[in-house]
A = this chain, B = another copy of it.
């Protein structure tokens, strides 16, 4: 059976994407990758790259999208875990940390391009983060009676801190991982509790649980 043209093209496209992810590491940022390098790793001629992507920026944005999707899928599973067992904060943070350790390249990409030189990249990563922030804000608002603004500010702080913990996790030894996770959990609890107290202070009447 011979492959259709579209199928073969899709395969090559995947090879390029996978090659790029493979090249990312602690010592190698996306912006330091050259087109030729990616082509080499993908096993194609440099010029063939252009049959699939306009330039490296377009490939990069594709990687950010793919990475975001992968991360969101994982966090959706985390929510299932929450249903039957335990604390939202703990399960979420632990799930995220697992992701960072299992797919460090993806996390590297998101982490670095969030403050990278390309506006398009920064916006793309920011958009991925917004998904989390909004989902988390919804969740928070659903359980307590915050305004949406309050909930978002709270959610954003949490996402930033978890992201930061992920960044530290990349550099640390496996033994230190647990400590790092606990630190992040505690920081998130500070925020949850603090937001709780401060919003209660502003409200006329709220029954303490």
Contact = CB atoms under 8 A, between A and B. Distances in A.
A101 B26 CA distance: 30
A27 B194 contact: no
Interface of A: 26-29, 31-32, 111-112, 114-119, 122, 153-154, 156-157, 160-161, 164, 167, 171, 183, 186-187, 189-198
25 contacts: A26-B117, A27-B117, A28-B117, A29-B31, A29-B116, A31-B32, A111-B115, A112-B112, A112-B115, A112-B116, A119-B171, A153-B186, A153-B187, A156-B183, A187-B191, A189-B198, A190-B191, A190-B194, A190-B198, A191-B191, A191-B194, A192-B194, A193-B198, A194-B195, A197-B197
Given A161-B157, A161-B160, A183-B153, A117 B190 contact: no
A164 B163 CA distance: 11
B187 A157 contact: yes
A31 B112 CA distance: 12
Nearest to A197: B193
A130 B198 CA distance: 28
